[in-house]
Amino acid sequence: MSNPYPFMQEALQQAHKSYREGGIPIGSVVVHGDQIIGAGHNQRVQKSSPILHGEMDALENAGRRSAAVYRACTLYTTLSPCSMCSGTILLYGIPRVIIGENRTFLGEEEWLRSRGVEVIVLDNSECYELMQRFIRERPELWNEDIGE
């Protein structure tokens, strides 16, 4: 059977790349039609950035886009989006978000749904296991990333 969400593998590759770099293993891609227009991963360690979560990095790498483009995009992220990333999804009117897993961290999925965003959670075990391994190894870094 073919994978109905092939772009999640691309987001996961971004997460693995960040892990190999010593960073937080959360990745994201922004897809317009059948093309990735932005890919990224958490950059807290790599760029000392408090705002470049995976989703934010993917959107930053997609560059300046018109409202019409965002409104035809799907955002893929390996982990449930926090309030910052959810607010960004709403700012740009991105209508659809595909989430790798939300067992490690449950973000603002209900807020997104209440504002009309389609939210699909895959409960992908590879996304989950990568985060669990990272949190065992670097709990302080994970807490910093979620403001705790």
Q: List contacts with a second copy (CB under 8 A).
A: 44, 48-51, 56, 59-60, 62-67, 70, 82-88, 90-93, 108, 143-144, 146-148
Task: Please identify, using beta-carbon distances, which residue of 84 and 122 lies nearer to a second copy.
Answer: 84
Catalytic residue among 55, 101, 108, 109: 55
Question: Annotated catalytic, 55?
Answer: yes
Shortest gap between Cβ of 90 and a second copy (angstroms)? Answer: 4
Measured over the CA atoms of residue 59, residue 56, residue 12 and residue 61, the dihedral's sign is positive
Contacts of 75 (CB under 8 A, 6+ apart): 28, 29, 30, 31, 55, 58, 59, 89, 94, 96, 97, 98
Shortest gap between Cβ of 71 and a second copy (angstroms)? Answer: 9
Cα–Cα distance, 24 to 15 (Å, whole number): 8
Shortest gap between Cβ of 114 and a second copy (angstroms)? Answer: 11
Task: Please identify, using beta-carbon distances, which residue of 77 and 124 lies nearer to a second copy.
Answer: 77
List helix spans (H) across the chain. Answer: 7-20, 54-62, 67-70, 83-91, 109-114, 125-137, 139-145
**Under 8 Å between Cβ of 24 and 42:** yes
Q: Which structure tokens are listed for 27? A: 């990745």
Task: Please identify, using beta-carbon distances, which residue of 85 and 124 lies nearer to a second copy.
Answer: 85
3-class DSSP assignment, residue 31: strand
Task: Please identify, using beta-carbon distances, which residue of 43 and 78 lies nearer to a second copy.
Answer: 43
Shortest gap between Cβ of 44 and a second copy (angstroms)? Answer: 7
User: Which residues are annotated as catalytic?
Assistant: 55
